[in-house]
Amino acid sequence: MITTDFVPGSPCWLDLGAPDVDAAAAFYTAVFGWEAKSYGEEAGGYTALRNKGKVVGAIGPLTEEGARSAWMIYYRTTDADAAAETVERLGGTVRAAPMDAGEDGRMAQFSDPQGGQFAVWQAAAEPGLEAVDEPGSLCWTELYTTDEAAAREFYGTLFGWQTEAMPMPGDAPGTYWLITPAGLPADRMHGGLMQLPPEHLTLTKGRPYWHPVFAVDDTDAAAARVKANGGSLQMEPEDAPGVGRLAVCVDPNGADFVLLKPSPPS
């Protein structure tokens, strides 16, 4: 499970790059009941998303030429500059060099060697998300990659992640790899990765990508709100044995995310 006891390699923040911040905020507040509040013009329109008063993410304007709208997941690091050096040494790309975010912390954005985009956060005054692993907040992170062995080696070296193989739910072929921060027990698993052929990665024209999974009380009702507010579904709500009821969604600007009502603990 994801917690706010952030350790190196654990997800600690996420934000959405959108062509129209206000329109994106309206969509997500309609789907999740979030409250959106801009940090002001001095912050470039960056907007906090809160669930019951606690920050669960943010939305900002797209800053890269030709970039698609997407959620960016940030993982905790103790040294963003050292992380950037390691990414380059391992064959990845530094897309946004380490920079200070005021007094809150230091961040950088990268691509792994296969092209999956992610970020790191070196916390100072701001540790990260205020609510996780509850309805209306981040509960899992997931990578679709074209080379699971290479991805596991890259992220394992960068973050020290532990990975454990699990058969895909139901009769689905392939292996799903569970991710846990270095040195922590299995109950701190925070994500997974799976290999898919490039032709299945239609949103990114074949490039690997990360996406967030948000917990909900009712997957079907939340999926209906996605469609009612201009979004679409890549996968209609369905039950995944041992996981829960989930739906794969795309917002009106093409950013993907997953809804999940987790199965009760066994």
Residues 38-78 have pLDDT tens digits of 987 777 789 999 999 999 999 999 877 778 999 999 999 99
> If you average pLDDT over residues 31-44, what whole number do you get?
87
pLDDT at 171: 67
Which region among 10-14, 105-109, 240-244 has the lowest average model confidence (pLDDT)?
A: 240-244
Q: What CATH number is associated with residue 89?
A: 3.10.180.10
265: pLDDT confidence band, cut at 50, 70 and 90? confident
**Three-state DSSP state, 100:** strand
Q: Which of 106, 100, 6, 21 is nearest to 63 (CA)?
A: 21
Q: Rounded CA gap, 86 and 107, in Å?
A: 15
Cite the DSSP H helix spans in 53-180.
Answer: 80-89, 148-159
pLDDT at 129: 98
Task: Provide the CB-side half-sphere exposure for 259 (13 A, CA).
Answer: 30
pTM: 0.96
Which region among 40-44, 75-79, 98-102, 185-189 has the lowest average model confidence (pLDDT)?
A: 40-44
Q: Rounded CA gap, 93 and 218, in Å?
A: 39
Task: Provide the CB-side half-sphere exposure for 144 (13 A, CA).
Answer: 21
Range(s) of the domain holding residue 51: 1-266
pLDDT at 66: 77
Measuring CA to CA, how many Å separate 95 from each of 21, 40, 84, 120? 22, 25, 10, 12
266: pLDDT confidence band, cut at 50, 70 and 90? low
Look-up: residue for tokens 């912050």?
43
Q: Tally the domains of the chain.
A: 1
**Three-state DSSP state, 194:** strand
The model's pLDDT over 210-260, given as tens digits with 9 standing for 90+, comes to 999 999 999 999 999 999 999 999 999 999 888 999 999 999 999 999 999
Q: Rounded CA gap, 88 and 111, in Å?
A: 10
| Percent of residues, the chain, with pLDDT higher than 90 | 87
Across the chain, the runs of DSSP E, i.e. the strands, are: 11-18, 35-38, 47-51, 54-61, 70-76, 93-101, 105-111, 117-123, 138-145, 162-167, 175-180, 191-195, 209-215, 232-240, 244-250, 256-262
172: pLDDT confidence band, cut at 50, 70 and 90? low
Q: Rounded CA gap, 72 and 111, in Å?
A: 11
